[in-house]
Amino acid sequence: MSANGGGANGVALVVDDSGVNRMLLSRHLESIGISSREAEDGAAALAALRDGSSDIAVVLLDVMMPGMDGYETLAAIKSDEALRHVPVIMISGVDELDSVARCIELGAADFLPKPFNPVILAARVRASLADKRLHDAEVEHSRRQAALLDTIERQKEELSRFLSPQIAALVSSAEGQQLLAGHRREATAVFCDLRGFTAFSDSAEPEEVLGMLRDYHAMMGALIVEHGGTLEHFAGDGLMVFFNDPVPQPDHVARAVRMAVAMRERFAPLAARWAKLGFELGLGVGIATGYATLGRIGFEGRYDYGMVGAAVIVASRLSSAAEANQILLNPRAHAAVDELVEAEEVGALALKGFARPIPTVNVVGLRSPAPVS
């Protein structure tokens, strides 16, 4: 097997047991600007094609060869996933119709009889090289697309470590840009913080405070994701979550209340553990529903996705007013889940920043489903 150099169009592999025939084909190819390599039989041709550094773009294959003939070589090429895309042009003195048909059925790109017509050969080889370039371009495009999708998925995964999953998906999607710009809709805001946390942080060791916060945040974070909430922020013992954005949720108030009840239940063992060490901690939750503006807030280099409106302020004030283990609702939120919850009247609370007291209820628990008759 000999090598006659590479070429920008790829290399043609000339396979023939006759050295004279190989030489004639190679010289003709060189005369039209196509580099070539030579193989004296089918086994050598397969070895050349499977060479890791091979740049072979088309094969000119004789049919009648000792050992592995052209049919067997062609079948081996087309059955190999790594080679089947390489065009094969059969060139042979055997020009019976049956032989031509067999080669085409096995996957040959074309069949030329000997002695070959130089003009037709040049046209067939150039067409096959063009097909190979197109195939390679499609493979490269698919590879780049797969790499891009992989990068996007890795970015989403990385973003989800710092953002709510919904916001991570929003940031990395084209349709999310309109939502990020800002929009108005009804939403439910939830604020949670801990009663007794200031006293705890003043008297406990810093390592104890951080350990408690890690457990608290892990528990809360899992429940936020489970109920489809959008986390706006964690701030020490406090957090804000909202529902019905960016993903619309017809049951957004119910989701918020169920999450809050689950948080209260999950927090109880954590509070009991710290009570044994002399620290009294309780969870206070405020929930309010109303129309708000939602979208990107912040400045260049540091953006958040947030909810702005009276409902946010009401939820925050209710959370501050809540006693340990209370979940306080504003009237609009209560009306939306009246059949879902057992609630007790707290009365009209005078909340900072609001001219009139706001009627408030505390969620005692969720109603049991009605029995099926």
Domain spans in the chain, listed from the N-terminal domain onward: 11-141, 181-366
* pLDDT at 4 (0 to 100): 42
pLDDT tens track for 258-304: 999 999 999 999 889 888 888 889 999 999 999 998 877 767 666 67
Q: Describe the crossing of helices 42-49 and 70-79 by its angle, rounded to 10 degrees.
A: 20
Instruction: Give a three-class secondary structure readout of 127-181.
Output: HHHHHHHHHHHHHHHHHHHHHHHHHHHHHHHHHHCCCCHHHHHHHCCCCHHHHHH
CA distance 287 to 116: 85
User: 181-366 falls under which CATH superfamily?
Assistant: Nucleotide cyclase, GGDEF domain (3.30.70.1230)
Structure tokens at 209: 């405070």
Q: C-alpha 372: how far from its chain's center?
A: 42
CB-based contact 314:354 (threshold 8 Å):
yes
* pLDDT at 3 (0 to 100): 41
Cis preceding linkage at 115, omega within 30: yes
CA distance 168 to 72: 54
Residue 120: how many CA atoms within 13 Å on its side-chain side?
10
* pLDDT at 115 (0 to 100): 80
pLDDT tens track for 214-244: 888 888 989 998 999 988 877 778 899 999 9
User: 11-141 falls under which CATH superfamily?
Assistant: Response regulator (3.40.50.2300)
DSSP-derived letter for residue 368 is P
> Which pLDDT tens digits describe the chain residue by residue (373 residues)?
444 444 445 788 999 988 888 898 888 888 888 888 899 999 999 999 888 656 888 899 998 888 898 899 999 999 998 888 889 998 877 767 888 888 889 988 888 888 878 888 888 888 887 877 787 788 788 888 877 777 656 655 654 554 556 666 665 555 556 666 678 999 999 999 999 888 888 888 888 888 888 888 888 989 998 999 988 877 778 899 999 988 889 999 999 999 999 999 999 998 898 888 888 899 999 999 999 988 777 676 666 778 899 999 999 999 999 999 999 999 999 999 999 999 999 999 999 989 999 999 999 999 876 554 4
* pLDDT at 54 (0 to 100): 67
Give phi and psi for 341, each to the nearest 5. Answer: -120, 155
CA distance 344 to 263: 19
pTM (global) more than 0.85: no
Amino acid at 322: A
**DSSP string of 80-99?**
-TTTTTS-EEEEES---HHH
